[in-house]
Structure 1
Amino acid sequence: MQNKPLKNLTILTFLLVLGLSGCAETPNEEGLTEYVEQDAQYNIKGTYDPFEGFNRAMWDLNYDYLDPYLARPVSIAYVDYIPSPVRTGIRNFLSNLDEPANMVNSIIMLDGEQAVTHFNRFWINTTFGLAGLIDIASSAGITKPGNRAFGDSMGYYGVDNGSYFMLPLYGPVTLREGVGDTVDGLYFPLNLLTFWQSLGKWVFEGMEDRAALVSQESVLRDSPDPYIFTRDAYIQNKNFRATGGESVAEEPEGEEYLDEFLDEVDDF
Protein backbone atom coordinates (compact mmCIF):
# COMPACT_ATOMS: atom_id res chain seq x y z
CA MET A 1 0.00 0.00 0.00
CA GLN A 2 2.51 2.44 -1.05
CA ASN A 3 0.31 5.21 -2.36
CA LYS A 4 -2.10 6.22 0.41
CA PRO A 5 -4.00 9.42 -0.42
CA LEU A 6 -5.30 10.16 3.05
CA LYS A 7 -1.77 9.99 4.34
CA ASN A 8 -0.33 11.93 1.43
CA LEU A 9 -2.61 14.89 2.11
CA THR A 10 -4.36 15.64 5.38
CA ILE A 11 -2.68 12.94 7.45
CA LEU A 12 0.83 13.77 6.31
CA THR A 13 0.29 17.46 7.02
CA PHE A 14 -0.98 16.56 10.49
CA LEU A 15 2.03 14.36 11.16
CA LEU A 16 4.54 16.89 9.90
CA VAL A 17 3.06 19.68 12.01
CA LEU A 18 3.24 17.54 15.14
CA GLY A 19 6.69 16.27 14.29
CA LEU A 20 8.09 19.72 13.58
CA SER A 21 6.51 21.15 16.70
CA GLY A 22 8.58 18.67 18.69
CA CYS A 23 11.75 19.87 16.93
CA ALA A 24 11.13 23.56 17.35
CA GLU A 25 13.44 23.78 20.35
CA THR A 26 16.89 22.33 20.77
CA PRO A 27 16.58 19.58 23.40
CA ASN A 28 18.57 20.20 26.53
CA GLU A 29 20.21 17.50 28.62
CA GLU A 30 17.14 17.16 30.82
CA GLY A 31 14.92 16.66 27.78
CA LEU A 32 17.20 13.98 26.37
CA THR A 33 17.24 12.17 29.70
CA GLU A 34 13.45 12.25 29.82
CA TYR A 35 13.27 10.83 26.29
CA VAL A 36 15.69 8.00 27.11
CA GLU A 37 13.77 7.11 30.25
CA GLN A 38 10.51 7.14 28.33
CA ASP A 39 11.96 4.98 25.55
CA ALA A 40 13.16 2.45 28.10
CA GLN A 41 9.58 1.53 29.00
CA TYR A 42 8.74 0.37 25.47
CA ASN A 43 8.90 -3.31 24.61
CA ILE A 44 10.11 -2.69 21.04
CA LYS A 45 13.17 -0.69 20.04
CA GLY A 46 12.32 2.35 17.95
CA THR A 47 8.93 2.98 19.56
CA TYR A 48 8.13 6.60 20.38
CA ASP A 49 4.55 7.26 21.47
CA PRO A 50 4.44 10.79 22.88
CA PHE A 51 0.72 11.17 22.11
CA GLU A 52 -0.44 7.97 23.77
CA GLY A 53 -3.50 9.59 25.34
CA PHE A 54 -4.75 10.79 21.96
CA ASN A 55 -3.76 7.50 20.32
CA ARG A 56 -5.67 5.42 22.87
CA ALA A 57 -8.77 7.54 22.29
CA MET A 58 -8.44 6.90 18.55
CA TRP A 59 -7.84 3.21 19.25
CA ASP A 60 -11.09 3.01 21.22
CA LEU A 61 -12.92 4.76 18.37
CA ASN A 62 -11.50 2.33 15.82
CA TYR A 63 -11.75 -0.84 17.90
CA ASP A 64 -15.20 -0.26 19.40
CA TYR A 65 -17.01 1.51 16.55
CA LEU A 66 -15.35 2.12 13.17
CA ASP A 67 -13.94 -1.36 12.71
CA PRO A 68 -16.85 -3.56 13.89
CA TYR A 69 -19.54 -1.40 12.27
CA LEU A 70 -17.76 -0.27 9.09
CA ALA A 71 -14.35 -1.65 8.12
CA ARG A 72 -14.89 -5.27 9.12
CA PRO A 73 -18.36 -5.88 7.62
CA VAL A 74 -17.52 -4.04 4.40
CA SER A 75 -14.27 -5.98 4.00
CA ILE A 76 -15.91 -9.34 4.67
CA ALA A 77 -18.75 -8.55 2.27
CA TYR A 78 -16.22 -7.62 -0.41
CA VAL A 79 -14.38 -10.93 0.00
CA ASP A 80 -17.57 -13.01 0.24
CA TYR A 81 -19.57 -11.51 -2.62
CA ILE A 82 -17.06 -10.31 -5.20
CA PRO A 83 -16.02 -13.22 -7.46
CA SER A 84 -12.52 -14.45 -6.72
CA PRO A 85 -11.21 -13.86 -10.30
CA VAL A 86 -12.34 -10.24 -10.12
CA ARG A 87 -10.67 -9.71 -6.74
CA THR A 88 -7.50 -11.38 -7.97
CA GLY A 89 -7.38 -9.16 -11.05
CA ILE A 90 -7.87 -6.01 -8.96
CA ARG A 91 -5.25 -7.14 -6.46
CA ASN A 92 -2.75 -7.96 -9.21
CA PHE A 93 -3.32 -4.65 -10.99
CA LEU A 94 -2.88 -2.54 -7.86
CA SER A 95 0.16 -4.54 -6.75
CA ASN A 96 1.76 -4.00 -10.15
CA LEU A 97 1.51 -0.24 -9.71
CA ASP A 98 3.86 -0.49 -6.72
CA GLU A 99 6.61 -2.42 -8.48
CA PRO A 100 8.66 0.59 -9.72
CA ALA A 101 8.70 2.04 -6.19
CA ASN A 102 9.66 -1.37 -4.85
CA MET A 103 12.49 -1.52 -7.38
CA VAL A 104 13.85 1.94 -6.51
CA ASN A 105 13.75 1.23 -2.80
CA SER A 106 15.47 -2.12 -3.29
CA ILE A 107 18.28 -0.29 -5.08
CA ILE A 108 18.51 2.24 -2.24
CA MET A 109 18.73 -0.67 0.20
CA LEU A 110 21.54 -2.20 -1.90
CA ASP A 111 19.52 -5.27 -2.85
CA GLY A 112 20.20 -5.58 -6.56
CA GLU A 113 18.67 -9.03 -6.90
CA GLN A 114 15.34 -7.93 -5.49
CA ALA A 115 15.44 -4.75 -7.60
CA VAL A 116 15.81 -6.85 -10.76
CA THR A 117 12.94 -9.08 -9.63
CA HIS A 118 10.61 -6.09 -9.18
CA PHE A 119 11.70 -4.64 -12.55
CA ASN A 120 11.09 -7.90 -14.38
CA ARG A 121 7.73 -8.39 -12.71
CA PHE A 122 6.62 -4.90 -13.73
CA TRP A 123 7.50 -5.05 -17.40
CA ILE A 124 6.34 -8.65 -17.85
CA ASN A 125 2.98 -8.16 -16.13
CA THR A 126 2.40 -4.76 -17.73
CA THR A 127 3.22 -6.02 -21.22
CA PHE A 128 1.80 -9.54 -21.20
CA GLY A 129 -0.56 -9.47 -18.23
CA LEU A 130 -3.04 -6.84 -19.42
CA ALA A 131 -1.44 -3.97 -17.49
CA GLY A 132 -0.98 -6.21 -14.46
CA LEU A 133 -4.43 -7.78 -14.20
CA ILE A 134 -2.84 -11.19 -14.74
CA ASP A 135 0.28 -12.13 -12.77
CA ILE A 136 2.21 -13.68 -15.64
CA ALA A 137 5.52 -13.19 -13.82
CA SER A 138 4.56 -15.46 -10.93
CA SER A 139 3.43 -18.12 -13.38
CA ALA A 140 6.88 -17.85 -14.95
CA GLY A 141 8.53 -18.40 -11.58
CA ILE A 142 9.29 -14.74 -10.84
CA THR A 143 7.48 -14.50 -7.53
CA LYS A 144 7.04 -11.20 -5.77
CA PRO A 145 9.31 -10.56 -2.78
CA GLY A 146 8.11 -8.31 0.03
CA ASN A 147 7.19 -4.72 -0.72
CA ARG A 148 9.85 -2.07 -0.22
CA ALA A 149 8.78 1.45 0.74
CA PHE A 150 10.88 4.58 1.08
CA GLY A 151 10.10 4.53 4.78
CA ASP A 152 11.89 1.17 4.89
CA SER A 153 14.81 2.69 2.98
CA MET A 154 15.11 5.51 5.49
CA GLY A 155 15.03 2.99 8.32
CA TYR A 156 17.74 0.96 6.59
CA TYR A 157 20.05 3.97 6.92
CA GLY A 158 19.22 4.60 10.55
CA VAL A 159 16.31 7.06 10.39
CA ASP A 160 14.07 6.41 13.40
CA ASN A 161 10.38 5.63 13.08
CA GLY A 162 9.51 8.95 14.66
CA SER A 163 6.28 9.60 16.50
CA TYR A 164 3.65 6.88 16.47
CA PHE A 165 0.04 7.78 15.73
CA MET A 166 -3.25 5.91 15.75
CA LEU A 167 -5.60 7.51 13.24
CA PRO A 168 -9.39 7.12 12.84
CA LEU A 169 -10.27 4.20 10.52
CA TYR A 170 -6.79 4.23 8.96
CA GLY A 171 -5.01 2.75 11.97
CA PRO A 172 -1.34 2.98 13.02
CA VAL A 173 1.27 5.08 11.23
CA THR A 174 4.63 6.63 12.04
CA LEU A 175 6.10 9.90 10.86
CA ARG A 176 8.77 8.03 8.88
CA GLU A 177 6.18 5.96 7.08
CA GLY A 178 4.05 8.99 6.25
CA VAL A 179 6.97 10.84 4.68
CA GLY A 180 8.15 7.68 2.92
CA ASP A 181 4.78 6.98 1.33
CA THR A 182 4.67 10.53 -0.01
CA VAL A 183 8.02 9.99 -1.74
CA ASP A 184 6.86 6.65 -3.16
CA GLY A 185 3.84 8.42 -4.61
CA LEU A 186 6.18 10.49 -6.79
CA TYR A 187 7.34 7.44 -8.76
CA PHE A 188 5.78 6.31 -12.03
CA PRO A 189 3.04 5.09 -12.36
CA LEU A 190 1.77 6.08 -8.91
CA ASN A 191 2.35 9.73 -9.77
CA LEU A 192 -0.24 9.45 -12.57
CA LEU A 193 -3.08 8.56 -10.21
CA THR A 194 -5.62 11.20 -9.29
CA PHE A 195 -6.71 11.64 -5.70
CA TRP A 196 -9.83 9.54 -6.23
CA GLN A 197 -7.91 6.81 -8.03
CA SER A 198 -5.41 6.72 -5.19
CA LEU A 199 -8.24 6.61 -2.69
CA GLY A 200 -9.77 3.68 -4.56
CA LYS A 201 -6.44 1.86 -4.47
CA TRP A 202 -6.17 2.42 -0.73
CA VAL A 203 -9.76 1.21 -0.13
CA PHE A 204 -9.43 -1.99 -2.18
CA GLU A 205 -6.09 -2.91 -0.64
CA GLY A 206 -7.41 -2.04 2.81
CA MET A 207 -10.42 -4.35 2.42
CA GLU A 208 -8.17 -7.25 1.42
CA ASP A 209 -5.82 -6.59 4.34
CA ARG A 210 -8.65 -6.25 6.86
CA ALA A 211 -10.34 -9.45 5.72
CA ALA A 212 -7.04 -11.32 6.02
CA LEU A 213 -6.84 -10.38 9.71
CA VAL A 214 -10.18 -11.91 10.69
CA SER A 215 -8.47 -15.16 11.66
CA GLN A 216 -6.18 -13.25 14.04
CA GLU A 217 -8.89 -11.35 15.93
CA SER A 218 -8.81 -13.78 18.84
CA VAL A 219 -5.09 -13.14 19.24
CA LEU A 220 -5.79 -9.44 19.67
CA ARG A 221 -8.65 -10.05 22.11
CA ASP A 222 -6.50 -12.38 24.23
CA SER A 223 -3.64 -9.90 24.58
CA PRO A 224 -3.35 -8.12 27.97
CA ASP A 225 -3.44 -4.69 26.33
CA PRO A 226 -4.68 -4.68 22.69
CA TYR A 227 -3.40 -1.14 22.12
CA ILE A 228 0.15 -1.96 23.23
CA PHE A 229 0.03 -5.27 21.38
CA THR A 230 -0.93 -3.57 18.12
CA ARG A 231 1.67 -0.85 18.55
CA ASP A 232 4.43 -3.37 19.29
CA ALA A 233 3.45 -5.58 16.36
CA TYR A 234 3.36 -2.59 14.02
CA ILE A 235 6.73 -1.17 15.10
CA GLN A 236 8.39 -4.58 15.09
CA ASN A 237 7.15 -5.11 11.53
CA LYS A 238 8.56 -1.72 10.48
CA ASN A 239 11.90 -2.54 12.14
CA PHE A 240 12.00 -5.86 10.32
CA ARG A 241 11.30 -4.26 6.95
CA ALA A 242 13.96 -1.62 7.58
CA THR A 243 16.59 -4.34 7.96
CA GLY A 244 15.82 -5.63 4.49
CA GLY A 245 14.17 -8.73 5.90
CA GLU A 246 16.87 -9.70 8.38
CA SER A 247 15.79 -10.71 11.85
CA VAL A 248 16.20 -8.28 14.70
CA ALA A 249 16.86 -9.20 18.32
CA GLU A 250 13.61 -8.17 19.99
CA GLU A 251 11.77 -10.27 22.54
CA PRO A 252 8.76 -8.25 23.70
CA GLU A 253 6.11 -9.50 26.05
CA GLY A 254 3.52 -11.59 24.23
CA GLU A 255 6.04 -12.65 21.56
CA GLU A 256 4.01 -15.78 20.85
CA TYR A 257 1.12 -13.54 19.79
CA LEU A 258 3.30 -11.22 17.72
CA ASP A 259 4.71 -14.00 15.57
CA GLU A 260 1.23 -15.02 14.41
CA PHE A 261 0.03 -11.47 13.99
CA LEU A 262 3.05 -10.34 11.95
CA ASP A 263 2.48 -13.11 9.44
CA GLU A 264 -0.67 -11.24 8.43
CA VAL A 265 0.53 -7.63 8.63
CA ASP A 266 3.87 -8.07 6.84
CA ASP A 267 2.58 -6.34 3.67
CA PHE A 268 0.89 -3.39 5.42
Structure 2
Amino acid sequence: MSSATTARAKKSKLTRIELSALPRKPQGCPEEATRSWARLVSAHTSVAGLFTTLNDLRAAQDDPRGAISELHRDQARAAIVFTAAGIDACLRTLLRDALPTLLSADGPAHGAFTRHFYATRLKGELSAATKKAVVDLDPRSALIDLYVEDLAGSSVQGWKDLARCRDALGLDGSTVEDNALKTHQDFFDARHEVVHELDLVDPSGKGSRGRRHRDITAVASQCDRALQLLHAFITPTAKAVRNIHRAPSAKR
Protein backbone atom coordinates (compact mmCIF):
# COMPACT_ATOMS: atom_id res chain seq x y z
CA MET A 1 0.00 0.00 0.00
CA SER A 2 1.35 3.37 -0.93
CA SER A 3 1.99 6.07 1.66
CA ALA A 4 1.81 9.81 1.25
CA THR A 5 4.63 11.08 -0.93
CA THR A 6 6.61 14.31 -0.78
CA ALA A 7 8.05 16.20 -3.71
CA ARG A 8 10.57 19.05 -3.83
CA ALA A 9 9.30 22.24 -5.45
CA LYS A 10 12.21 23.73 -7.39
CA LYS A 11 11.39 27.39 -6.81
CA SER A 12 10.23 27.46 -3.20
CA LYS A 13 12.47 24.65 -1.92
CA LEU A 14 9.38 23.49 -0.05
CA THR A 15 8.81 19.84 0.69
CA ARG A 16 5.27 19.50 -0.64
CA ILE A 17 2.90 17.07 1.03
CA GLU A 18 0.83 15.07 -1.43
CA LEU A 19 -1.41 12.02 -1.44
CA SER A 20 -0.49 9.06 -3.58
CA ALA A 21 -2.76 8.41 -6.55
CA LEU A 22 -5.64 5.98 -6.21
CA PRO A 23 -5.35 2.65 -8.02
CA ARG A 24 -7.53 2.13 -11.07
CA LYS A 25 -11.26 1.68 -10.75
CA PRO A 26 -12.12 -2.04 -10.48
CA GLN A 27 -12.33 -3.64 -13.90
CA GLY A 28 -15.92 -4.12 -15.00
CA CYS A 29 -17.07 -2.35 -11.83
CA PRO A 30 -20.66 -3.46 -11.17
CA GLU A 31 -23.43 -1.09 -10.18
CA GLU A 32 -23.22 -2.35 -6.59
CA ALA A 33 -19.72 -0.86 -6.20
CA THR A 34 -19.95 2.16 -8.50
CA ARG A 35 -21.43 4.62 -6.00
CA SER A 36 -18.90 3.66 -3.34
CA TRP A 37 -16.03 4.11 -5.80
CA ALA A 38 -17.36 7.55 -6.76
CA ARG A 39 -17.40 8.55 -3.09
CA LEU A 40 -13.83 7.36 -2.68
CA VAL A 41 -12.70 9.43 -5.67
CA SER A 42 -14.54 12.46 -4.30
CA ALA A 43 -13.02 12.06 -0.83
CA HIS A 44 -9.53 11.64 -2.28
CA THR A 45 -9.95 14.78 -4.40
CA SER A 46 -11.17 16.81 -1.41
CA VAL A 47 -8.38 15.68 0.91
CA ALA A 48 -5.75 16.18 -1.78
CA GLY A 49 -7.09 19.71 -2.26
CA LEU A 50 -6.63 20.47 1.43
CA PHE A 51 -2.99 19.46 1.26
CA THR A 52 -2.53 21.53 -1.91
CA THR A 53 -3.89 24.55 -0.02
CA LEU A 54 -1.58 23.74 2.88
CA ASN A 55 1.39 23.60 0.53
CA ASP A 56 0.40 26.94 -1.02
CA LEU A 57 0.02 28.60 2.38
CA ARG A 58 3.45 27.43 3.44
CA ALA A 59 5.01 28.43 0.12
CA ALA A 60 3.67 31.97 0.61
CA GLN A 61 5.62 32.39 3.85
CA ASP A 62 8.78 34.48 3.86
CA ASP A 63 10.60 31.30 4.84
CA PRO A 64 8.61 28.29 3.53
CA ARG A 65 10.69 26.00 5.69
CA GLY A 66 9.85 27.93 8.85
CA ALA A 67 7.65 26.93 11.75
CA ILE A 68 4.32 25.25 11.08
CA SER A 69 1.53 27.55 12.28
CA GLU A 70 -1.83 26.57 13.81
CA LEU A 71 -3.44 27.69 10.55
CA HIS A 72 -1.38 25.07 8.74
CA ARG A 73 -2.18 22.42 11.30
CA ASP A 74 -5.88 23.23 10.97
CA GLN A 75 -5.64 22.25 7.31
CA ALA A 76 -4.22 18.91 8.44
CA ARG A 77 -7.01 18.57 11.01
CA ALA A 78 -9.57 19.25 8.30
CA ALA A 79 -7.94 16.51 6.20
CA ILE A 80 -8.52 14.04 9.04
CA VAL A 81 -12.21 15.00 9.22
CA PHE A 82 -12.67 14.81 5.42
CA THR A 83 -10.94 11.43 5.28
CA ALA A 84 -13.10 10.05 8.09
CA ALA A 85 -16.23 11.31 6.30
CA GLY A 86 -15.01 9.55 3.16
CA ILE A 87 -14.55 6.29 5.02
CA ASP A 88 -18.07 6.51 6.45
CA ALA A 89 -19.65 7.37 3.10
CA CYS A 90 -17.75 4.73 1.13
CA LEU A 91 -18.32 1.83 3.50
CA ARG A 92 -21.95 2.58 4.28
CA THR A 93 -22.69 2.94 0.55
CA LEU A 94 -20.78 -0.24 -0.28
CA LEU A 95 -22.66 -2.21 2.38
CA ARG A 96 -26.07 -0.90 1.32
CA ASP A 97 -25.46 -1.45 -2.39
CA ALA A 98 -23.54 -4.73 -2.35
CA LEU A 99 -25.11 -6.73 0.47
CA PRO A 100 -28.40 -7.51 -1.32
CA THR A 101 -26.40 -9.25 -4.06
CA LEU A 102 -23.81 -10.82 -1.75
CA LEU A 103 -26.56 -12.24 0.47
CA SER A 104 -28.35 -13.80 -2.50
CA ALA A 105 -25.70 -16.53 -2.60
CA ASP A 106 -24.31 -18.90 0.01
CA GLY A 107 -20.90 -17.73 1.13
CA PRO A 108 -18.92 -15.91 3.85
CA ALA A 109 -21.06 -12.77 3.63
CA HIS A 110 -24.26 -14.75 4.21
CA GLY A 111 -22.61 -16.63 7.06
CA ALA A 112 -21.64 -13.36 8.76
CA PHE A 113 -25.18 -12.04 8.27
CA THR A 114 -26.71 -15.13 9.87
CA ARG A 115 -24.28 -15.16 12.81
CA HIS A 116 -24.86 -11.49 13.49
CA PHE A 117 -28.64 -11.80 13.72
CA TYR A 118 -28.57 -14.95 15.84
CA ALA A 119 -26.04 -13.37 18.22
CA THR A 120 -27.72 -9.98 18.51
CA ARG A 121 -31.17 -9.14 17.15
CA LEU A 122 -32.71 -12.63 17.32
CA LYS A 123 -31.38 -13.34 20.81
CA GLY A 124 -33.88 -12.90 23.64
CA GLU A 125 -36.72 -10.41 23.35
CA LEU A 126 -36.88 -8.90 19.88
CA SER A 127 -36.49 -5.13 19.66
CA ALA A 128 -39.23 -3.02 18.12
CA ALA A 129 -36.97 -2.25 15.17
CA THR A 130 -36.36 -5.95 14.53
CA LYS A 131 -40.06 -6.81 14.74
CA LYS A 132 -40.88 -3.98 12.33
CA ALA A 133 -38.28 -5.27 9.86
CA VAL A 134 -39.57 -8.84 10.05
CA VAL A 135 -43.12 -7.81 9.12
CA ASP A 136 -42.04 -5.23 6.53
CA LEU A 137 -43.39 -5.59 2.98
CA ASP A 138 -39.78 -6.33 2.01
CA PRO A 139 -38.34 -7.95 5.16
CA ARG A 140 -35.04 -8.89 3.52
CA SER A 141 -34.26 -5.29 2.60
CA ALA A 142 -35.41 -4.05 6.00
CA LEU A 143 -33.15 -6.54 7.79
CA ILE A 144 -30.20 -5.51 5.62
CA ASP A 145 -30.85 -1.88 6.57
CA LEU A 146 -30.73 -2.85 10.25
CA TYR A 147 -27.54 -4.82 9.59
CA VAL A 148 -25.82 -1.82 8.03
CA GLU A 149 -26.81 0.34 11.00
CA ASP A 150 -25.41 -2.26 13.38
CA LEU A 151 -22.16 -2.45 11.42
CA ALA A 152 -21.39 1.21 10.78
CA GLY A 153 -23.73 3.14 13.05
CA SER A 154 -23.41 6.88 12.58
CA SER A 155 -19.72 6.52 11.75
CA VAL A 156 -16.81 4.08 11.67
CA GLN A 157 -15.01 4.56 14.98
CA GLY A 158 -12.04 2.23 14.81
CA TRP A 159 -10.37 -0.85 13.41
CA LYS A 160 -12.96 -3.19 14.97
CA ASP A 161 -15.70 -1.46 12.98
CA LEU A 162 -13.56 -1.94 9.86
CA ALA A 163 -13.25 -5.64 10.74
CA ARG A 164 -17.03 -5.99 11.09
CA CYS A 165 -17.54 -4.37 7.70
CA ARG A 166 -14.89 -6.67 6.23
CA ASP A 167 -16.61 -9.76 7.61
CA ALA A 168 -20.02 -8.57 6.44
CA LEU A 169 -18.68 -8.23 2.90
CA GLY A 170 -17.01 -11.66 3.09
CA LEU A 171 -13.53 -10.26 2.39
CA ASP A 172 -10.16 -11.80 3.07
CA GLY A 173 -6.58 -10.94 2.18
CA SER A 174 -3.54 -9.54 3.95
CA THR A 175 -4.57 -5.89 3.60
CA VAL A 176 -7.77 -6.44 5.60
CA GLU A 177 -6.51 -8.88 8.23
CA ASP A 178 -6.90 -7.76 11.84
CA ASN A 179 -3.22 -6.88 12.23
CA ALA A 180 -3.35 -4.71 9.10
CA LEU A 181 -6.54 -2.96 10.20
CA LYS A 182 -5.09 -2.29 13.65
CA THR A 183 -2.41 -0.12 12.06
CA HIS A 184 -5.17 2.38 11.18
CA GLN A 185 -6.32 2.86 14.78
CA ASP A 186 -4.05 5.89 15.22
CA PHE A 187 -6.03 7.63 12.47
CA PHE A 188 -9.34 6.96 14.23
CA ASP A 189 -7.86 8.12 17.54
CA ALA A 190 -6.83 11.37 15.83
CA ARG A 191 -10.31 11.71 14.31
CA HIS A 192 -11.89 11.41 17.75
CA GLU A 193 -9.53 14.01 19.22
CA VAL A 194 -10.19 16.48 16.42
CA VAL A 195 -13.97 16.00 16.09
CA HIS A 196 -14.95 15.51 19.73
CA GLU A 197 -12.26 17.43 21.59
CA LEU A 198 -11.28 20.16 19.10
CA ASP A 199 -7.79 18.69 19.50
CA LEU A 200 -7.44 20.24 22.95
CA VAL A 201 -4.83 18.62 25.18
CA ASP A 202 -7.31 18.77 28.08
CA PRO A 203 -10.83 19.13 26.68
CA SER A 204 -12.27 19.26 30.21
CA GLY A 205 -10.87 22.76 30.62
CA LYS A 206 -8.71 21.78 33.59
CA GLY A 207 -5.00 22.37 33.40
CA SER A 208 -3.47 22.89 29.97
CA ARG A 209 -5.97 23.64 27.21
CA GLY A 210 -3.40 23.90 24.45
CA ARG A 211 -4.01 22.07 21.21
CA ARG A 212 -2.31 18.82 20.35
CA HIS A 213 0.72 18.95 18.13
CA ARG A 214 -0.04 17.51 14.68
CA ASP A 215 2.86 16.56 12.47
CA ILE A 216 1.43 17.40 9.05
CA THR A 217 3.54 14.80 7.25
CA ALA A 218 2.33 12.09 9.65
CA VAL A 219 -1.27 13.25 9.19
CA ALA A 220 -0.90 13.07 5.41
CA SER A 221 0.40 9.51 5.71
CA GLN A 222 -2.50 8.49 7.96
CA CYS A 223 -5.08 9.97 5.57
CA ASP A 224 -3.38 8.50 2.54
CA ARG A 225 -3.24 5.00 3.99
CA ALA A 226 -6.88 5.19 5.10
CA LEU A 227 -8.07 6.22 1.64
CA GLN A 228 -5.97 3.52 -0.01
CA LEU A 229 -7.48 0.97 2.38
CA LEU A 230 -10.95 1.68 0.97
CA HIS A 231 -9.72 0.34 -2.36
CA ALA A 232 -9.02 -2.96 -0.57
CA PHE A 233 -12.69 -3.06 0.41
CA ILE A 234 -14.25 -1.94 -2.87
CA THR A 235 -12.23 -3.94 -5.41
CA PRO A 236 -12.71 -7.46 -3.97
CA THR A 237 -16.37 -6.68 -3.25
CA ALA A 238 -16.82 -5.69 -6.89
CA LYS A 239 -15.21 -8.97 -7.94
CA ALA A 240 -17.44 -11.02 -5.62
CA VAL A 241 -20.55 -9.30 -6.96
CA ARG A 242 -19.46 -9.92 -10.57
CA ASN A 243 -18.94 -13.59 -9.80
CA ILE A 244 -22.46 -13.88 -8.39
CA HIS A 245 -23.91 -12.20 -11.46
CA ARG A 246 -22.01 -14.62 -13.71
CA ALA A 247 -23.08 -17.73 -11.80
CA PRO A 248 -25.48 -20.00 -13.76
CA SER A 249 -28.12 -19.71 -11.04
CA ALA A 250 -27.97 -15.89 -10.96
CA LYS A 251 -31.31 -14.23 -11.59
CA ARG A 252 -31.37 -11.97 -14.61
TM-score by length of 2: 0.28
